[in-house]
Amino acid sequence: MTAVQDDLPRGLELTSLSATFRDDPHAVLNAARGKCPVLHDGMLRDYVVLSAEVGRKVLADRQLPSDPRNTVETSTRRLRGEDLTRDPPIMFMDDPLHKRVRGLVGRAFNAERIERARPRVATLCRQLIDAAGTGAFDFVDAIARPLPTITIADILGIDSRHHDDFKIWSDRMVAAMLNPLAPPAVKEEGAAAAVSLYQLFSAEIAARRAGAMDGDDLITALMTAEHQGERLTDPEIVEHAQVLLIAGNQTTTDLLGTMICNILKAGDSWARLVADPALIPNAVDEAIRFEPPIFSTDRIAGEDMELGGVAIPKGHQISIMLTALNHDPAVNPDPDRFDIARKPVKHFSFGGGRHTCLGAPLARLEAQELLKAMVERFPTLVADPAHDAVYTMNPGFRGLESFWVKPA
């Protein structure tokens, strides 16, 4: 059985390149979900899951591959000409490679290490806020962009003199790797940035091997991590350090920007946080639910299957639209209302199953510490009416290019 799918958005209409989608992605996705739980795209993606019921099952299914090399020649990923000759990054690996790498990286990049970063993140938040001044400022440019880069660089153990280069290289790699429509010039910049990062991380590893390797930084932890008698090779350490930098940079910048924007737009929410800072952790979770930085995550049909009444052939990509799942009324009552006191806050923003985001605790920590510092410093903060909020146009991401704020 295949559901009727006439007059549904497809391709670029389901990305930030569409003005309609960019202005209100929830309205577009809600309307599509109302007609079918699974959409056959066939243009930019193969199949798109819009229903939380179906999405939860797909995310939890450990038998579904994630490695894009499992796609068939007619899959949109192959038709776009993606390079599928190398092992994918950790978020797209399949077992047994994924189990080995995740076990090793997870031992180094663990909850204890992330929590130890909290005091440094809190200090950094205050420093960035101080530098922003007391008048109107672009929150994204002044705070949301530098905070994640400096944070992950500190955790990795990279000297502060490289922070500016880190941001440039990371942004260029994100633009090239995570935008399926990136033009050749952008891809070339991304490739050059990858080389620069590889050289820097390789030098950092060599310096540690020449020393005592007794530091408390993440690169040292990746070098010494052991799981079931195995260790990461040096090229693997470099690759996963790159992934942690890229994944923890753009997505957290986007989360921080939309979080502040949505709180300020939601009635008296800012004043409520000022009056009751205990609401901050819940407000952060609601921000993560309401607008996840990444629209979708992918699996691949390992065999012919049916989802939500739609037949999906083996080897085709299944894109789980995380934003749509979060706004499914079957999961969250009144899902399109931003509510800092929502209980419970249910979301799929960090994926699920074996590919649940490793960096989720760090993103949440940064958002909590920043919101706490912002509420303390700016009890009367408002969006600056002299500037419109400008959303990014990277197809797979939801974030702000610019968002000006000021004390009232």
Q: What angle do CA 301, 349, 277 make, to 5 degrees?
A: 170
Residue 1 placed within a domain: no
Residue 327 placed within a domain: yes
In this predicted structure, what is the pLDDT of residue 396?
A: 86
In this predicted structure, what is the pLDDT of residue 232?
A: 95
DSSP SS3 for 117? coil
In this predicted structure, what is the pLDDT of residue 1?
A: 44
Residue 175 is part of a domain; what is its CATH number?
A: 1.10.630.10
Task: Using pLDDT thresholds of 50, 70 and 90, give the confidence band for residue 254.
Answer: very high
In this predicted structure, what is the pLDDT of residue 265?
A: 97
**pLDDT at 79 > cutoff 70:** no
Residue 4 placed within a domain: no
User: With pLDDT > 70 as the criterion, what percentage of the chain qualifies?
Assistant: 97
Residue 372 placed within a domain: yes
- 304 is in which domain, residue-wise? 11-407
Residue 73 placed within a domain: yes
Residue 2 placed within a domain: no
With CA atoms as reference, report the closest residue to 95 among 353, 375, 389, 385.
353
Predicted model pTM: 0.94
In this predicted structure, what is the pLDDT of residue 4?
A: 56
Tally the domains of the chain. Answer: 1
Interval 139-165: pLDDT, tens = 999 999 999 999 999 999 998 888 888
Q: Are 87 and 97 in contact, with CB atoms under 8 Å apart? A: yes
Interval 321-369: pLDDT, tens = 999 999 999 999 999 999 999 999 999 999 999 999 999 999 999 999 9
Residue 292 placed within a domain: yes
In this predicted structure, what is the pLDDT of residue 56?
A: 97
Task: Using pLDDT thresholds of 50, 70 and 90, give the confidence band for residue 214.
Answer: confident
Q: Average pLDDT in the 247-261 region?
A: 94
Residue 90 placed within a domain: yes
With CA atoms as reference, report the closest residue to 13 among 60, 45, 61.
45
**pLDDT at 169 > cutoff 50:** yes
